[in-house]
Amino acid sequence: MLDVTTTEWGVEVTLVELKDIQLPESMKRAMARQAEAEREKRAKIISAEGESLAAAALGDASDTMMAHPLALQLRNLQSLIEIGVGKNTTVVFPAPLMSTIGDLGAFLAREATAAATARPAPKPVSAFDLGKPAGVAAPDEVAEAKRFA
- C-alpha 75/C-alpha 68 separation (Å) is 11
In a domain, 9, yes or no: no
Neighbours of 79 (CB within 10 A): 12
**What mean pLDDT is predicted for residues 121-128?**
58
- C-alpha 72/C-alpha 62 separation (Å) is 9
Neighbours of 65 (CB within 10 A): 15
In a domain, 15, yes or no: no
Work out how many domains the chain is built from and give that number: 1
Local confidence band at 95 (pLDDT 50, 70, 90 cut-offs): low
In a domain, 89, yes or no: no
Domain that holds residue 55: 35-61
Q: What pLDDT is attached to residue 71?
A: 82
Q: Rounded to 10 degrees, what is the CA torsion of 17, 19, 24, 29?
A: 90
